[in-house]
Amino acid sequence: MNPQLKFFLVAMVAVSVISDSMLIPFYPQFFAAAFSITAPQHIGLYLSASCFVVMLAFPLWAAAAKHMPVLRLLIYTQFAAGVLSILCYESGSLPEFWFVSLLMMVFKASYLLIYPFVMSLEHKDKHGGTIGLLSVIVHLGAIAGAGIGGFALDLFEPRLIFLLMSVGDFLQMLVCAFLLGKDKTDAEASPEAPQYPAEQAAEVLTGSLVYKLGLVMLLFYFSVYLIRPFFSRYWEAISAWNGGIVTGLVFAIPGAIALLALCINKNMGSSKHGIVSAALLGMFGLLLQASGQQAIVLLGRCLFGWALFQATVRLDLLLFEVSTPASYAADFSKIYFFQSLGALIASYTAGSLVAAQGLQMPFIAGALGLVLTAFLYALLFKAAPKPMNAVMETS
């Protein structure tokens, strides 16, 4: 892939993650300040609705990308997302905010096309490193987004965050326009990639593995997303260092650990190894966070961050091992559906768990979920799947 094109595409991922991460740790505080809503069930319901909207919208954008170059499509969708972000800032009532913000999520979902677009341009030998890089960008973006969000909540009106989010949307739009104008040959993907006989012969195998992987992803994302909606409230309850900026940085500790992991694991190994052990290490990290002791919680965040990076990179690498370049966007949209379904169920479940059992319960439930994830992966992939390139060579 053209290094300059890769730089701009990765930068777009960073901008999108930063803008989308500003409110994730702080939705309870946002709804309390903007609409006087403090019920945990309401926060969980809103986050579930957001996940549901993105889950349904992304496959539609993946289908649209078959008929329009990805970067050209993103110009229109990110412009719409930016305008709707401004309207979120101006929303005067809770129902209006719900409608406008969820519509904004529909258009924001299109930026997920960048991931399979980058992978389709990258050589398979570099997939592991590229997935690791994108994973770190996501984690570091969460650090920056959480820090900016915490700073804005400490100093400004909470609604201002949506104006900052709109800046990110318009910046992505400008980058797409720049890339299309600079080098259309590299920037524009053809609407339909050619299918080779070996790829056609492997479609049934690919579909079966993708759906198995989707089930593992659903349970994994459910487990790790359980702790997200109320982590900031949990930290504020157990620590004297509970300002918005500090809370945001503690929330984003896994991002710093992901960067360390990428430096150590510059060349990710086979995705068939390490998933079970990473899930079990993540379980210990969640249980430590449930301790209620500040120092132990910080240690748990570090273990959880290391495990999360190792598991997510290897699970994503497994997807691109069994898929083909022509099917990357379609297969990634299927996997993302399962990931979002897991996050959606987690968001709603988290509110109910906190309301019934307190702020520690999501950590305990998440730990149990990761144990089940390791068991399900071992059950479904006990016979290691053959990489797609091997299938093509023997077809």
Tens of pLDDT along 119-152?
877 777 777 677 777 877 876 777 778 778 777 7
245-248: long-range contacts at Cβ-Cβ below 8 A with a sequence spacing of 24 or more? Answer: 245/147, 245/150, 245/151, 245/154, 246/150, 247/25, 247/150, 248/25, 248/26, 248/146, 248/147, 248/149, 248/150, 248/151
Q: Residue 1: its pLDDT value, please?
A: 64
CA of residue 247 relative to chain centroid, distance:
20
Polymer length in residues for the chain: 395
Other CB atoms closer than 10 Å to residue 182's CB: what's the count?
Answer: 12
CA of residue 94 relative to chain centroid, distance:
26
- Residue with the two structure tokens 């993540």: 282
Q: Residue 267: its pLDDT value, please?
A: 54
Other CB atoms closer than 10 Å to residue 63's CB: what's the count?
Answer: 12
Tokens found for residue 340: 């979002």
> What is the CA angle 350-364-40, rounded to 5?
20
Q: Which of 7-11, 362-366, 385-389 has the lowest mean pLDDT?
A: 385-389
Tokens found for residue 161: 């965050």
Nearest alpha carbon to residue 165 among 57, 34, 24, 53? 24
Sign (positive or negative) of CA dihedral 193, 198, 200, 204: negative
**Cβ proximity of 245 and 150 under 8 Å:** yes
> From CA 130, how far away is CA 132, in angstroms rounded?
5
Mean pLDDT, range 372-389, rounded to an integer = 72
> From CA 271, how far away is CA 384, in angstroms rounded?
10
**Cβ proximity of 245 and 126 under 8 Å:** no
What are the boundaries of each domain within the chain? 3-394
376 has pLDDT over 90: yes
C-alpha neighbours within 13 Å on the C-beta side of residue 145: 26
Tell me: domain 3-394, CATH 1.20.1250.20, correct? yes
End-to-end CA distance of the chain: 27
Burial class of residue 295 (count of CB atoms within 10 Å of its CB; 0-12, 13-18, 19+): exposed
Q: Which helix (H) or strand (E) holds 157?
A: none
Task: Please state the φ and ψ torsions of residue 79, each to the nearest 5 degrees.
Answer: -65, -45
Q: Which of 74-83, 124-133, 171-180, 312-321 has the lowest mean pLDDT?
A: 124-133
Give the range with max mean pLDDT: 48-57, 122-131, 166-175: 166-175
Q: Residue 39: its pLDDT value, please?
A: 83
> From CA 118, how far away is CA 123, in angstroms rounded?
10
Q: Which percentage of the chain shows pLDDT scores above 90?
A: 25
CA distances from 330 to 58, 333, 334 (A): 10, 5, 6
C-alpha neighbours within 13 Å on the C-beta side of residue 21: 24
The per-residue pLDDT of the chain, averaged, comes to 81
CA of residue 66 relative to chain centroid, distance:
23
Q: Residue 5: its pLDDT value, please?
A: 82
374 has pLDDT over 90: yes
**Cβ proximity of 8 and 179 under 8 Å:** yes
**204 or 57, higher pLDDT:** 57
pLDDT band at residue 385, thresholds of 50, 70 and 90? Answer: very low
Query: Phi-psi bin for 355: left (phi > 0), alpha (psi -120 to 50), beta?
Result: alpha
> From CA 113, how far away is CA 64, in angstroms rounded?
10
- H helical segments located in the chain: 3-21, 27-35, 40-64, 70-90, 94-108, 114-121, 127-155, 160-182, 184-187, 197-201, 203-225, 231-238, 244-251, 253-264, 275-289, 294-322, 328-357, 361-380, 388-394
